[in-house]
Amino acid sequence: MRRCYLIGYPVEHSMSALMHNAAFEELGLGYLYELKSVRPEALGRFTADEMRGEAVRGANVTIPHKVSIMGHLDEAYPEAAAIGAVNTIVNEGGWLKGYNTDGRGAMRALEETYGDLRGAKVILVGAGGAARAIGRHLSIVVDELSILNRTASRAESLVSGLKSLSGCNSTVTPAALTRENLKSRLVEADVLINATPLGMTPDTDKSPVDSDLLHPGLLVFDTVYNPLKTRLLREAEEAGARTLTGAKMLAYQGAASFELWTGVRAPEELMFEVVVDALRRDRR
């Protein structure tokens, strides 16, 4: 039995094990996916002691380890190295290689819902691992990209990094995450993306954006998928905006990880449906 993990802290809220194990079972593969709650101070030891074992094929990486995990790997795929964050590890005979499938998953979900993003004005809230991946992909396509974060210096660092990468075709600007900065940018924005954990179970009463700033004509994408409809998405719907749940991104990035581990095409629809069904049951 080959094993794959989700490494994060905490991980109890995650649907990844349910999603991946359903896919493994559907295709008759001898794999098992397990959640591993790893404190930041134990990440290096866990990577060295657990991840290189023969039975371990790889792992997903989530908050707060997507950036720090890079210091414990042997190699990073060029896309992950450029982004500066890893969400997928593949164990090749004890050699650990890092990939990032977050950006591809997010962009696929976005383009299915929004359409052609060329010329779009996008606000990205957050500057962590998910924001790095999504920001890299957006900076190649959109017209304007504003990155807002509670710690302004982190937004500035991310913008500086994006501008230094080849293929950055957008006007990319940083700002502190304040009501005033959001208000001035949201007036003309086409897309708002939350790439922070604000609103995630169990803190479902939180949102990074005041509801009165949301408006019709805006697409609001929340990368948080648990709950399925976050406070941000509920308030966006009430304001007449279109919404996109993080469950689509979860399924698409998970499918890409699945294929890296197994070499087999992932059952994407099944993976999405399993997550959505489970989240709907949790609300009953």
pLDDT in tens, 61-117: 999 999 999 999 999 999 999 999 999 999 999 999 999 999 999 999 999 999 999
Percent of the chain with pLDDT over 90: 97
- pLDDT mean across residues, the chain: 96
pLDDT at 282 over 80: no
Per-residue pLDDT band for 124 (boundaries 50, 70, 90) equals very high
Q: Are 38 and 46 in contact (CB under 8 A)?
A: yes
Q: Domains in the chain, ordered, with CATH? A: 2-100+248-283 (3.40.50.10860), 103-244 (3.40.50.720)
Cα 241 to Cα 85: distance, rounded to the nearest angstrom: 31
Show the tokens assigned to 143.
């017209």
List, in order, residues 6 or more apart from 267 with CB less than 8 Å away: 23, 26, 27
pLDDT at 284 over 60: no
The pLDDT value recorded for residue 283 is: 63
The pLDDT value recorded for residue 281 is: 84
Q: How far lies 201's CA from each of 37, 68, 182, 214, in Å? A: 16, 24, 24, 22
The residues with which 35 forms a beta bridge, in sequence order, are 6
Cα 242 to Cα 114: distance, rounded to the nearest angstrom: 9
Kindly give the pairing relationship between strand 95-99 and strand 88-92.
antiparallel
Cα 102 to Cα 217: distance, rounded to the nearest angstrom: 26
The pLDDT value recorded for residue 48 is: 97
pLDDT at 13 over 90: no
Q: How far lies 229's CA from each of 204, 234, 247, 283, in Å? A: 10, 6, 10, 10
Cα 192 to Cα 123: distance, rounded to the nearest angstrom: 5
Catalytic residue among 36, 66, 183, 248: 66
248 given a catalytic annotation: no
pLDDT in tens, 157-182: 999 999 999 999 999 999 999 999 99
pLDDT in tens, 40-50: 999 999 999 99
